[in-house]
Amino acid sequence: MSNRRDFMGMALGAFTGLGALGALYAAKKTWEPLPSVKAAGKAVIDLSGAKEDVLNTEVWRGKPIFVMKVSKKNPAYKDNRLVKVGNDKFFIAIGLCTHLGCIPTYFPDKGKFICPCHGGQFDAAGRVLKAPPPKPLVIPPFNVKGTKIVLGEEGEEYKKMKAAKLV
Amino acid sequence: MAHFDPNARPFSKKWLNERLAVETLERVLSTEYWIPKNINFLWAMGMVLAATFGLLVISGIFLLMYYIPDTQKAFDSVNYTIMSQVGYGWLWRHIHGVAASVVFLIIYIHMFTGIYYGSYKKGREMIWISGMLLFVTFSGEAFAGYVLPWGQMSYWAGMVITNLFEGFSADFMGGALNFPGLVEWIRGDYVPGQAFIGRFFMLHVFLMPLVIIALIVLHFGALRIPHVNNQDGEEIDFEAEAEKWKAGHRKESKVIPFKPVFLSKDVFVLGIYFLFFFYLVFYHFEFAMDPVNFDPADGLKTPPHIYPEWYFLWSYEVLRAFSKNPGLVWFGFAQVIFFLLPFLDRSPNVAPASRRGPFKIWFWLLLIDMIGLTILGKLPPVGIFTPIGTTFAYIFIALWFALPFITKMEKPVGGK
Amino acid sequence: MKELKILAVVVFFTLVTYWGVEPYAHSQMHKHVEGHDFTYQDINASGVKGDPAKGKNLIAACAGCHGIKSQGMKAPMDAMGASAAYGVNPPDLSNAGAIFDEKFLIAFLQNPAHTAKAKPNFAMPPSAASAQDAADIVAYLKSIAPKEVSPKEAYVTACGRCHANSYGKWTQIGDIPKTKGNIKTGNDVALAQFKINVAKYQDKLADYMGKLPPDLKIIARARSKHYLETFVEDPQSHLPGTAMPRVGLTKEGFEKVYAYLESTGDPSKPLREKTGPIVLGFFLIFTLLAYGWYKSQWKGLK
């Protein structure tokens, strides 16, 4: 066994590895969401007909979105996680528990959300009242346009909330 | 009782040897798996086939992620989703389609190599038979896969091939070999439809690959005891020659270890093969991805010319040369006769055809006849093509009937 | 060298087989149709010179059925109404002057069914009293034609009212609209309504043409460019008796249409052409390295 022999075998092996990386790159692209999925990443929600303290569930990117016009008498009214649209304040959040992704149920009489999976609780601004959820319900990227709100777009207000680490 | 050293470090060589015998395995399967030195590049076709099967499996996995086995959605899931939406989906499909065609070219080269050098006798019968079983399962696998994109050729191939199972006509032998219900049973419908696509999808992605993998293991295993043949059909004492190699007499020994010496040549041949293969994938794929199959399946309109993929054409031409009943007989004959080769060849000689007298002529006639049948199988059955096709079919049959007599008369040739 | 001789034998028989089952077999299966670069040699040039100003005054004859959006002229009927009346929606003429052949159009206006080699029930009636009138109208259409027509616009004008292209999201009555379903029920009434309209249109169209013209979503892979070119130039040359009319595209107009067909039918072509050399280059180096390894391993063995 001369050195050259080993060297050639190893050079070939290394070069083959390079090709395998190329194939893995193609495989990774194959595994990505399709363009049609990405293109469907925006949803427009009309808030003009919303009733106070009544929870509406919309869908964006396949996930439930909680939308609720919060009344002045609701204890969460002053919370800075609410979104101001016109003269009203709205609670907008992805309706999946930040613990393990179940959908919390809203109890209007108690004014809070309770997760059926592990008992986590949130108030009407999405803040955690009871563990295990580690953080408030996530606010999706939004852009307020008149009485409508576009999900999947980062508007001015969202950027401010994001900077304040409220989302 | 096995002996385990309590002090061996977990996952160290010793630890693994005691549990999995890794070094013994490596020795038996590669570094002391002896191959004759007297070979040419045709001996690399097994590795080329294994690599092509690997390409089919890998590309198939990605296609499987997006393909929908549904008569309404299959065509678009392939031609829209996979071909234009999925990242590199077109690449997987081109690789899959081209490999499915090229794999048969290599199989045929592999087969004719075996026939030419007599690598199917004197202890090598099971290699040949397991190889033929692989050929048949690959054929089934190719047919099942061809149906899936649900284009015009998929549909009409499904229609025509399943109709073969109707058997002989009802007036033949009182209808004893006529199975009118069998066709519907295979299809699960009166015509190829949803049930058909569902079951052929299952066969293509699960059952047949499973059988193929098992047969590949059998095929490799069958090589182990008789060892690989060589260019002169010489009987080699592998143990004695291996000792020579191990003693350092590399030049005098008639054998080489699989790894790294035989492998280095295999990989070089693979490199050339991949250049050819990927040239086809990127620039010359129509032969394997028939344009007609880019028309969606239409059960009310047969395309003006229908023909199987090229690798089925020779047996299709044998079927087509005769009327229905004899056509089926000779078609069945063509399917099984290759299995019998080790027993029809009555000569004790294991030698290249060039040294075997009449067998040499037989070999080249068979090759030319089958290429002729292949070409005629694609040509429209009109005019002069029909009698020529029939003649080639008769020659094919006659060659096989002549084989035992030709080889019986053959004179023994001394090994080199 | 022996191995090269063996390789030559293998390559020879492979190429003979390939030649037999591909080029030769296909030459026997399909008749060869010679293209004429959209010169329409059977039509005699009128020899008259058109005046766009006069043509503008005559355009009312066309506007009874056709719209000219670029000039603010709406079609008198929408696609549904037109299909109920004629079996097919007449094309908007905004781009007609840019993609159709002048000589063809002048003849077509005087004698549509004959010029298009269409069936006698061809929806378009003779619409110009003389060659001069026809030439004037065509001159006008050319004067309003945009400099640049996109591939899709060319397709829509020339093919799109009979042929859907579902991979391009095109139906015979327009693009598939972006609609939003009812979140509670999952129903999308607007889309369902659109689909009903497409179905009604297609039924009328099939009555008019004798069958539903095929969706051209992937025709770029199903037929060669030469086939499509000669077929569009004269459908009768490939399919005698077909109801498809000769539409009278210019060579440039056809190239636009083909660009659209390729964009929906073979969109991976650009990336395929980019990736090919990289992969082949990789295997070339791979083979050279493997040759080095092989030579080093087999040194002194024979």
Distance to chain C for B264, nearest Cα, Å: 5
Q: Is residue B130 part of a domain?
A: yes
Is C233 within 8 Å of C39 (Cβ atoms)? no
Is it the case that residue A166 has pLDDT exceeding 90? no
Average pLDDT over residues B73-86: 96
Average pLDDT over residues C288-295: 95
CATH of domain A43-163: 2.102.10.10
The pLDDT score that the predictor gives to residue A5 is 53
Q: Tell me if B268 and C271 make a contact (CB, 8 A cut-off).
A: no
Domain boundaries defined on chain C: 1-30, 41-267, 275-302
CATH number for the domain that contains residue B338: 1.10.287
Is it the case that residue B291 has pLDDT exceeding 90? yes
The pLDDT score that the predictor gives to residue A87 is 80
User: What is the extent of the structural domain holding B339?
Assistant: 307-416
Is it the case that residue B167 has pLDDT exceeding 50? yes
Is C141 within 8 Å of C134 (Cβ atoms)? no
The pLDDT score that the predictor gives to residue B198 is 96
DSSP for chain C, written as a single string: -HHHHHHHHHHHHHHHHHHIIIIIHHHHHS------TT--TTSPP--PPP-HHHHHHHTHHHHTT--BGGGTB--SS-HHHHHHHHSSPPPP-TTHHHHB-HHHHHHHHHSHHHHTT--TT-SPPP--SSHHHHHHHHHHHHHHS-S---HHHHHHHHTTTT--BGGGTEETTEEPP-----TTT---HHHHHHHHHHHHHHHHHHHHHSSPPPP-TTHHHHS-HHHHHHHHH-HHHHSTT-SPPP--B-HHHHHHHHHHHHHHH-TTHHHHHHHHHHHHHHHHHHHHHHHHHHHHHHTT--
Distance to chain A for C291, nearest Cα, Å: 9
Query: What's this model's pTM, rounded to 2 decimal places?
Result: 0.91
**Residues 177 through 216 of chain C touching chain B, CB cutoff 8 Å:** 214-215
Is it the case that residue A19 has pLDDT exceeding 50? yes
Q: Is residue B26 part of a domain?
A: no
Q: Tens digit of pLDDT for each residue in B258-270? A: 989 999 999 999 9
Q: Is residue B2 part of a domain?
A: no
Least confident range of A150-159, C196-205, C214-223: A150-159
* Tokens 């079927």, located at residue: B319
Higher pLDDT, B353 or A108: B353
The pLDDT score that the predictor gives to residue B229 is 94
Is it the case that residue B127 has pLDDT exceeding 70? yes
Confidence grade of residue C19 (pLDDT, cut at 50, 70, 90): very high
Average pLDDT over residues A143-157: 83
Higher pLDDT, A153 or B207: B207
Confidence grade of residue B280 (pLDDT, cut at 50, 70, 90): very high
Is C123 within 8 Å of C56 (Cβ atoms)? no
The pLDDT score that the predictor gives to residue A3 is 52
Confidence grade of residue B416 (pLDDT, cut at 50, 70, 90): very low
Q: How far apart are CA B262 and CA B34, in angstroms?
A: 9
Least confident range of A49-63, C73-87, C126-140: A49-63
How many CB atoms lie under 10 A from the CB of residue A16? 15
Q: Tell me if C283 and B274 make a contact (CB, 8 A cut-off).
A: yes
Q: Is residue B78 part of a domain?
A: yes
Q: Which residue of B has its CA nearest to C298?
A: B261
Sort residue C226 into left (φ over 0), alpha (ψ -120 to 50) or beta: alpha
CB-closest option in A12, A26, A31 to B91: A26
Q: Is residue B20 part of a domain?
A: no
Contacts of A36 in chain B (CB under 8 A): 85
The pLDDT score that the predictor gives to residue B214 is 98
The pLDDT score that the predictor gives to residue A156 is 81
Is it the case that residue C203 has pLDDT exceeding 50? yes
Q: Decide which of B279, B302, B325 is a domain's last residue.
A: B302
The pLDDT score that the predictor gives to residue B414 is 62
Q: Tens digit of pLDDT for each residue in A31-70? A: 999 988 888 777 888 888 878 878 888 888 888 888 888 8
The pLDDT score that the predictor gives to residue B110 is 97
Q: Is residue B9 part of a domain?
A: no
The pLDDT score that the predictor gives to residue A45 is 81
pLDDT > 90: percent of chain A: 19
Residues in Cβ contact with B100 at an 8 Å cutoff, skipping those fewer than 6 apart: B56, B142, B145, B288
**Residues 146 through 205 of chain C touching chain A, CB cutoff 8 Å:** 180, 183
pLDDT > 70: percent of chain A: 97
| Average pLDDT score over chain B | 93
Is it the case that residue C53 has pLDDT exceeding 50? yes
CB-closest option in B91, B251, B304 to C275: B91
CB proximity C297 to A under 8 Å: yes
Higher pLDDT, A108 or B230: B230
Q: How far apart are CA C76 and CA B238, in angstroms?
A: 91
Domain boundaries defined on chain A: 3-32, 43-163
Instruction: Determine which helix (DSSP H) or strand (DSSP E) holds A83, and give its type and residue range.
Output: strand A83-85
Mutating which of C6, C16, C17 best tests the B interface, going by the most B Cβ atoms within 10 A? Answer: C17
Confidence grade of residue B358 (pLDDT, cut at 50, 70, 90): very high
CATH number for the domain that contains residue B158: 1.20.810.10
Average pLDDT over residues C35-42: 90
Parallel, antiparallel or unpaired: strands A83-85 and A63-70: unpaired
Is it the case that residue A134 has pLDDT exceeding 60? yes
Is C257 within 8 Å of C158 (Cβ atoms)? yes
The pLDDT score that the predictor gives to residue C30 is 86
Contacts of B282 in chain C (CB under 8 A): 272-273, 275-276, 279-280
Q: Tens digit of pLDDT for each residue in C176-200? A: 998 888 877 889 999 999 999 999 9
The pLDDT score that the predictor gives to residue A4 is 52
Residue in B58, B65, B59, B67 with CA at minimum distance from that of residue B201: B67
Q: Is residue B27 part of a domain?
A: no
Number of domains in chain B: 2
Q: Which fold has domain C41-267?
A: Cytochrome Bc1 Complex; Chain D, domain 2 (1.10.760)
Is C290 within 8 Å of B265 (Cβ atoms)? no
Average pLDDT over residues A7-26: 94
Confidence grade of residue A1 (pLDDT, cut at 50, 70, 90): very low
Residues in Cβ contact with C165 at an 8 Å cutoff, skipping those fewer than 6 apart: C155, C215, C216, C217, C260, C261, C264
Whether complex ipTM tops 0.90: yes
Confidence grade of residue C291 (pLDDT, cut at 50, 70, 90): very high
Confidence grade of residue A127 (pLDDT, cut at 50, 70, 90): confident
| Domain co-membership, B61 together with B131 | yes
pLDDT > 90: percent of chain C: 78
